[in-house]
Structure formats: structure tokens, C-alpha cells
A and B are shown apart, each in its own frame.
Chain A
Amino acid sequence: MLQPALVEKILNAALESGGDFAEVFVEDRTDRDLGMLGGVVERALSGRDYGVGIRILQGVFSVYAYTSDLQEEHLIDTARKAARALKGSSGDLVLNFDKVQFEDRHPILQRPSASQNARKIELMRQAHEALKTSHPLIEQTSVGILNWEQNVLIANSDGLWAEDTRTYTRMRMSAIAVDGTQRQSGFRGPGAYAGLELLEQMDIQAEAREAGRIAGTMVQAGYAPSGQFPVVIENGFGGVLFHEACGHGLESTAVGIGASVFAGKLGQQIASPLVTAVDDGTIPNAWGSLNIDDEGMPTQRNVLIENGILKGYLIDKVGSRRMNMPPTGSGRRQSYKFAPASRMNNTFICEGSSTREEMIANTEYGIYAKSLGGGSVNTATSDFNFAINEAYIIRNGQIAEPVKGATLIGKGLEALQHIDMVGNNLDHGQGMCGSVSGSLPVNCGQPTLRVSKMTIGGRKGGVSR
């Protein structure tokens, strides 16, 4: 990490031509990636990312420069080059850095290190064995453990000085089932802001069996119907519905320039009164949590929607300037190669009072979406889509035959209004969210819920009821 005297020189160089704010983001990250295919360790990679991002603001105009050459003269020169994109005169900056103090909410018990390789391989082998025996049609297994430790230093011309170390661990397990000419994969990928203890405390075999069960069930499933149906979406990663249908549309990157359907709707009823939604970066050791965001601000619990009424947005520093509202601790970036942007941390819909059984029983004909995949959204139109990896037909209030995964689509504003039952079993799932400032760990969460009408992209016309 860089010394305060050098950081001060960089910030001064950055403000030579009229910038009103400058920031330095230093990152030193070590990655470890182990992979096993069919029970054989075939992938072992590790390495180090190291670089500096320099940002200059003049109002809402932003300049960003980054480099992995950390020699003093080069860093100052890079700041100066970036400053030349602005027109104005130099302010004289005397800095007295004030270190951001925070309580570390995310204790790490076993920091990643090369010496854990043998133990990790034992755990991967357990997962492989459980995957292999999870279903008679499993023909291939793939297991990986990815972990990384990211040291960051964020300092800016307001005198902020913040440092933190973030530790992540994720285990990926997938199985491929083959039935005649059909091949289908099943996947589980639990992760957390944690060290190896995550895996020591986890029921790895249960997770692996679940991945195998999905592959084995889906390889024998028929095609999903197409058309509009009520959909019961299972808890946990089912929260990808809210993430795509609404979450991205609340980010100041879109709202701040009016390119979101949710812009200008604060205080309005935008969702069913059953919906209360939160983005919370403070949940201890959760996959999407941070002590401080990538602009150095402590994360917080942001209520986005309360009983269907829009209460707040996710706002970064530039968004705060554009919208004239305080930032929400949501400025995030994948690495020093990205300028920060407003992003989600752990987003979820809060619990209601229905049970899963009630929702199924009250659906005459519909889709039960048990395991969800990723999705995407166009925030300007709120058209969103996400994949179902495991689905069943609901017939006469009961879960019936499995159907192959299909995509669910809709418009954010409509889908939120159509949520007509919300369950009492909140859970969270882990995903990687890709957007302007890179790919980031996020949790998507929700209790089981029902949407009264959604378009499902199946392949079978003429639905038989």
C-alpha cells in the first residue's frame, strides 16, 4: 500500500487543473483457484493483482485513470495526465488524512493461504463423491474452490483515509446427468465474505447432492409450457427477481440521469403493498457485505421499498452530486480498473406471512420455480429476464411434473405490482453481478413468493390443464 506522503502528492497532481475532488484507490489482491474435474485436481492457479486507480471529479464530470506500474514518478505522472482532461487552475491542497474508523463486522477465522491446499482438496473430494452418487444418471462432476483476499486503501482530497481487507470464499459444484441424447447440468455455489471456515461449517455433501438432484431431475423433464402463468418463486436466490426487476433500476447510475423507470417516483406506490425490500451491506460475513464501500464510506442498511412505496435509491458519490441526495454506502467496483458506481450489496424482499404450502395450494395452474439462475435488465424500459434452472408444473394446487428450465420475462413495474403472496421463509443466495463497474459478489434474497402473472419462455404450446 502507498504511504500518505505519496498519496498526497498524487492527489495534488490530480487537482492541478480544476478538479474539485480527487481520490486514490489502491488494491492488492491475491486469488486462489482450485478445480477438480471427475475427481481429479486439474486446476491450481494463484496470483496477485496490484494497481492504483485515480479519480478526479469536477462537478459530475469524472476522469479516471489506472495503472499497474506503482513507481512514484509514474503514479504522479498518471495523475497529471488525467488532470489534463480538465480545464481549470490548480487549488493548493494541504491534506490532513483522517483515518476512517470502523468496527470490523466480518470476522475471518481462517485466512486464505497456500498451506490450505491439502484441506481444500479433501473437501473438494467429499463434494465430488457426493455429486457422483447423488443420482444414477450423473456422468461428470466438477468442483472448485475460489478464494481471494483484497486489500484496499481509499484516500481522497477531503482527507478521507480508509483501509480494509476483504476475504471471500466460494465453492462451486456441478454435475452433468446424461439420459440418452439429453445432457443437463445442476449447480450449487455457496459463498461468503469469509475464510476457509465457511466450508468447514457447511454441509458440503448436502449441497453437492442438491446439485446432482437438479441435474438428474431436469435431464428427464419435459419442456416447460409457454405463455403467461402464475409463478411461485422459491426463496433464496429467487431474489434475482427483485435484483433484476427493480434493484438495478434504483441505482443512481441510471436514476441520476433519468434513465430508469423508477426515477422521480420516491414516495409513490410502485409495488404490491406486500413488498418491503432492503439492500443491506452490513450483514455479518454475507457474500455481498462490506465494512466500507469502494469510496470509503461505511455500508448501511438501505430501505428501498416499504409496503410497496418507494423509499430510497442506491447512491454513489457522483450520483449524490447529480441527485442532490446523500450517498448510501453503495459505491462499488470490481477492481482498480473500474471507477466506482452505485451497486447492490445484499438485496432482499422482507418476510410476509404466507407459507409455501398455501401459495402452491392456492394456485390452480402455474409454475413452481424452485432453483433460479441469472438474469439481466434494461433499466430504461425495466424489461427484465432471468432463468429458471429447475421448475415444476403446479396443477390443482399441487406440485406436479418437472419441466426443463425456461426464462421468465416481464417489466419491472408490472411484476412488482403482481406479487400477490409473500412467504415467511427469507433466505439468501449468492451471485456475481455484472455492470458498469465490473463483476461483484452480491446476495439476492427473498422468501418464497407468488407473482400472479408472468411470461414463461417454454417450448410447449397448447398447455394441457
Chain B
Amino acid sequence: MNITEFQETLFRQGQEYGYTDMEIYYSGSRAISTAIRKGEVDTYRIAETNGLSFRGTIGGKLGYAFTEKIAADSIPFLLEEAEGNAAVLELEDEADLFAGSVEYPQLQTYSAALMQTDPERLIQAAQQVERLVLEKDNRITMVRQSAASVREHELLIANTKGLHCHQQDSIGSVSVYLLAGEEQETVSGGWFDYSLTDFSDIRLEEIAVRAVDETVSKLGASSVPSDNYPVILREDAASNLLQTHASVFSAENVEKGFSSLVGKLGQRIAGSNITLIDDPLMPGVPGASIFDAEGVAARRNELIREGTMMTFLHNRKTASKAGLETTGNASKGGYKGKIGVSYHNLYLAPGTRSLDELIASTERGILITELQGLHAGTNPTSGNFSLACLGYLIENGKISRPVNQITVSGNFYDLLSEVEELGNDLRFTGSCTSPSLKVRSLSISGA
């Protein structure tokens, strides 16, 4: 049974069952990936998976259920489960599906060529990166994994009110992760690159060079005395920190008390150098999207403009509660989730100087390149974070040595006002991106 037949049968049987409005959210993906070790294929994976979330109005309430089995015998299951789930809900204001936006943006997010990449090419690319890495430095003790993959994903949202939104996206990537050693010391590091259009655009040599540099430059690291230091968060570390806290910009979290930004709309919450944008319509980035999880046309929103909180992210429900228009940020954590609120392609507007220039302008400080344990050492509600990290000591405007066994602590909300300068080095590798951030002072715990 294909998805169109499934949808028709489900809606027909659902109507007979007593549902008024009904919607499906269907997600399907295919991927091929391979990992190389010591020149040989170590693992080879073929993945294909489908999942469908059903929601429908019954008894005045909106019930949800999901299945991975797109077959006729799943239909009674979905109808019964969603009815049972609707019955226990105590929220009265959710029973509303969306008929569709007047207009949807045009955006290229899919390349059929990626999935047609010959699997042998993936193997060769991963082998080549492993070989390039091993040639570069004799302190490399092991390429733990050199991997290549292509994947594509399809999303369909359709309902009985006439909504029909379909989008495909695809990505190819190559990554390498290695160990280097000297005497008793072992360090690890890696790098990756991706393409949204053509596997051959992936820069293998650059991956190898960066991966080796990222790794061997950590050799000889030690701690620093505990103190407050000026800190530069490199773009990748800064992006991870932003991503971990980005849920605080959701109107849902603000309303429920999970964000300290409650009551801050229209107020100054950050330095005048901070502008935070969600731009799903940016071409050629992984977070691009033409509609949200309710089928609302995606649009660009400025959340923070020069330090002032301009808008939170909304879906139709949070917007209607606040008496506003949705910002097109309904989200669903895959087909198993419930409609929530999230960003598409969130980023901090960059500054003008490069990371090297930021370093050169720092008398003494710490450059942080990697934050660890973000899932545990952060608390978005309070904004407090305390994280193990890796990086380098900066002395007299130059990197003097690698640093490890330290933590960095601070508060995300305070940090927004304490950014001295933003770098010009935005690199869109996911859905949340920051340039390097130079921060006046953060607490570093070490020896």
C-alpha cells in the first residue's frame, strides 16, 4: 500500500469512525553509509524507514497516534489509539487543523543525484580520507573511523481541510575521526564536510588536513589555574552552546515557565551587537525549509534585533494564545512527536573580523574549540552552564599551548550581553549556527 492509498483509506475509514478533521504527517528516509578502518570496509549500512503520525478531531478533541507500518491493518490501530488519547486530554483549545497558506516559498532542498551516488564512490572517498590522514603526520596512531554517507528524506503533511505539503531533502557527507599519540598521551579529533547537491563537491583533502590539525594540535595539553578568563568560543563550540539553549526562544517554553525570557518581549536582553535570525529560506543550508510541521509557509524572523527581543517563535496555537500571527515555527520531533515549537535555520548575525583576528586582539585568554556533556551540564531554564571543554591558551595575541581538563561556567542569558565581538566565520553545518564569540570573561576551573 503506497502512502496515497493509505491516506485515502485512512481518511475514509476515519470519517466512518466518527472523526471530523484528520491529518497525516508522513516521513520517509533512505540512506547508505559506510565506514572504513585500515583500508578495509568495516561497516556498510542500508537504511530505509517510514513513519506516519495521524491526528484527528473526535469528540471535540485532537488525538494523536503513530505507526511505522504503512499497511491496511494499521488503520484501525491508529483510529482507536488516537480516540483513546484524545479522550484523556484536558486541553480544549487544540482541535484545529490548518487548511494551508495562500502561498509557499520556492526553494531547492533536494538533489536526486546524491542518492544515486555509486556506493563504491562512498567507499573510495572514505578510503581516500583515511589514506590522506595517515600520510600527514606520523603522530597519528589510529584512524578510528573514516565514514561516508548519503541520505534523503521526504516529508508529507496532508489533511481533510485541503492541506497538502510535500518536501524532500538530501545530504551527502564524509567524516573522519582519529587518534594521535606521543609518549603516554592520547588525543582524539576529527572533521567532516557535506554537500546538499553533489557528493563530488565534498572536499576530501580539506577534511583530512583539518582533522589532522584538530587532533595533533591537542598534544601536550595541560590544565590552567582556575580563574576568570577572557574566552573565545570558536564557531563550532559557540553553535553547540547556542543550540543547547535555543529552546528558550520558543513561545511555548516561555509560556510554560521553562525559559527565563518570560516578560522580556520588546526589552533589551542582549548586547547591541547581537542579532538572532531564523531564516528557513536561506538557500543551500541544511536547515532550509518551505513549511513548518503544521503546513504553514516558512518565513524569515528576527528574534533579537541589535539586542532587543523582537519576537518569540510561534506555532498556530501559541500565536493564537498571544493574539499574534504564527511565525511558521511549528515543529514535530519526527513522526512520534506532538506539535511543538522550534527553529528551522537559526543563526547569529556575524561580525566582520576573522577568528585569527579575534585571537590576535586577545592579550591573554582561552580559545574553546570543544564543549562536552552539553546534555547534562546545561540548564536552559536557569541558563546556567558548567561544561568540560578543550581548547588553547592565548598569550600575547597568539595560541601558546593546548588546554584540557578544564571546565567553563557561566549563564547563557548573561552571555548574550557579554559578547565583546562576533567573528565573521559562520559555517552552516546544522540548523543552529553561531560565528566565533569573544566573551569578556567566563569562569574557568582547572588546576
Asked if B15 is at the interface (CB within 8 A of a chain A CB), the reply is: no
Complex Cα distance A182/B384, Å?
10
Q: Which A residue's beta carbon lies closest to that of B123? A: A85
Which A residues are CB-close (under 8 A) to B447? 227-228, 455
Q: Does B50 lie within 8 Å of A69, measured CB to CB?
A: yes
Interface string of A135-157 (1 = CB under 8 A from B): 00001100000000000000000
Q: What is the CB-to-nearest-CB distance from B339 to chain A, in angstroms, rounded to a whole number?
A: 11
Asked if A203 is at the interface (CB within 8 A of a chain B CB), the reply is: no
Which B residues are CB-close (under 8 A) to A226? 226, 407, 409, 443-446
Q: Does A68 lie within 8 Å of B49, measured CB to CB?
A: yes
Contacts A387-B386, A405-B384 given: A34-B379 contact, CB under 8 Å?
no
- B379 partner, pick from A44, A82, A139, A185, beta carbons under 8 A: A185
Q: Does A62 lie within 8 Å of B42, measured CB to CB?
A: yes
Asked if B138 is at the interface (CB within 8 A of a chain A CB), the reply is: no
Asked if B320 is at the interface (CB within 8 A of a chain A CB), the reply is: no
Q: Which residues of B in the span 18-48 have a Cβ within 8 Å of any Cβ on A?
A: 34, 37, 40-48
Asked if B77 is at the interface (CB within 8 A of a chain A CB), the reply is: yes
Q: Does B260 lie within 8 Å of A41, measured CB to CB?
A: no
Q: What is the CB-to-nearest-CB distance from B42 to chain A, in angstroms, rounded to a whole number?
A: 6
Asked if B65 is at the interface (CB within 8 A of a chain A CB), the reply is: yes
Complex Cα distance A51/B223, Å?
48
Q: Does A455 lie within 8 Å of B445, measured CB to CB?
A: yes
- A66 partner, pick from B41, B48, B382, beta carbons under 8 A: B48
Q: Which residues of B in the span 67-119 have a Cβ within 8 Å of any Cβ on A?
A: 67-70, 74, 77, 80-81, 84-91, 119
Contacts A64-B43, A64-B44, A407-B376 given: A114-B84 contact, CB under 8 Å?
yes
Complex Cα distance A82/B44, Å?
8
Which A residues are CB-close (under 8 A) to B44? 61-64, 82, 85
Asked if A159 is at the interface (CB within 8 A of a chain B CB), the reply is: no
Complex Cα distance A173/B90, Å?
19
Q: Which A residue's beta carbon lies closest to that of B218? A: A381
Which A residues are CB-close (under 8 A) to B256? 37-38, 140
Which B residues are CB-close (under 8 A) to A380? 144, 179, 186-188
Q: Does A459 lie within 8 Å of B405, measured CB to CB?
A: no
Contacts A45-B336, A380-B179 given: A458-B409 contact, CB under 8 Å?
yes
| Range class of the B interface residue count | 35 or more
Q: Select the stretch in A92-100, A275-283, A285-293, A369-377 that faces chain B.
A: A369-377
Q: What is the CB-to-nearest-CB distance from B237 to chain A, in angstroms, rounded to a whole number?
A: 15
Q: Which B residue's beta carbon lies closest to that of A42? A: B91
Asked if A328 is at the interface (CB within 8 A of a chain B CB), the reply is: no
Q: Select the stretch in A257-265, A300-308, A344-352, A441-449 that faces chain B.
A: A257-265
- A455 partner, pick from B51, B260, B387, B446, beta carbons under 8 A: B446
Q: Does B226 lie within 8 Å of A227, measured CB to CB?
A: yes
Contacts A48-B66, A68-B49, A380-B144 given: A117-B257 contact, CB under 8 Å?
no
Complex Cα distance A378/B177, Å?
12
Q: What is the CB-to-nearest-CB distance from B56 to chain A, in angstroms, rounded to a whole number?
A: 13
Contacts A47-B66, A227-B226 given: A42-B90 contact, CB under 8 Å?
yes
Q: Does B81 lie within 8 Å of A114, measured CB to CB?
A: yes
Which B residues are CB-close (under 8 A) to A140? 256-258
Q: Does B43 lie within 8 Å of A62, measured CB to CB?
A: yes
Asked if B408 is at the interface (CB within 8 A of a chain A CB), the reply is: yes
Asked if A65 is at the interface (CB within 8 A of a chain B CB), the reply is: yes
Complex Cα distance A160/B227, Å?
59
Interface string of A372-398 (1 = CB under 8 A from B): 011110101101111100000000000
Which A residues are CB-close (under 8 A) to B40? 61
- A64 partner, pick from B45, B258, B260, B382, beta carbons under 8 A: B45
Q: What is the CB-to-nearest-CB distance from A221 to chain B, in angstroms, rounded to a whole number?
A: 11
Complex Cα distance A267/B74, Å?
54
Which B residues are CB-close (under 8 A) to A223? 409
Interface string of A213-225 (1 = CB under 8 A from B): 0000000000110
Which B residues are CB-close (under 8 A) to A70? 69
Asked if A184 is at the interface (CB within 8 A of a chain B CB), the reply is: yes
Q: Which residues of A in the span 219-247 have a Cβ within 8 Å of any Cβ on B?
A: 223-224, 226-228
Top 6 A-B residue pairs of the complex, sorted by shortest distance between their CB atoms: A457-B407, A226-B445, A47-B66, A385-B388, A374-B376, A44-B85
